[in-house]
Amino acid sequence: MSDTPRTDAASRMAFSGEYMVPIQDAQKLECELADMTKQRDALAEAGNQLLESLYSEDWRKVHAIRSMRKALAAVKGGSHE
């Protein structure tokens, strides 16, 4: 089984006998990857803030928890509750 089933499904043989993926499909996959990367980075940053706040003042804990909830809510399929 392939690690890239969506790319495999979108690929087709070009005139040269090599396989290619139409630019629209490649752009869509790249946009989805960029979106997931942003979500991952936001989640990691909020997680770091939350962990750091465990050793700090209580007001920082509240801010970090809110940031973590916001990051979790931004992840598609996630929930902040």
What would the pLDDT profile of 60-76 be if each residue is shown by its tens digit? Answer: 677 777 787 777 777 76
pLDDT digits (tens, 9 = 90+) for 10-62: 887 777 778 888 889 999 999 999 999 888 888 888 877 777 776 666 776 77
**Cα-only R_g, the chain:** 20
The DSSP call for residue 78 is -
Degrees to nearest 5, angle at CA 26 with 10 and 24: 85
Domain range summary for the chain, segments of one domain joined by +: 5-74
What is the Cα–Cα distance from 2 to 73, expressed in whole angstroms? 31
State pTM to two decimals. 0.59
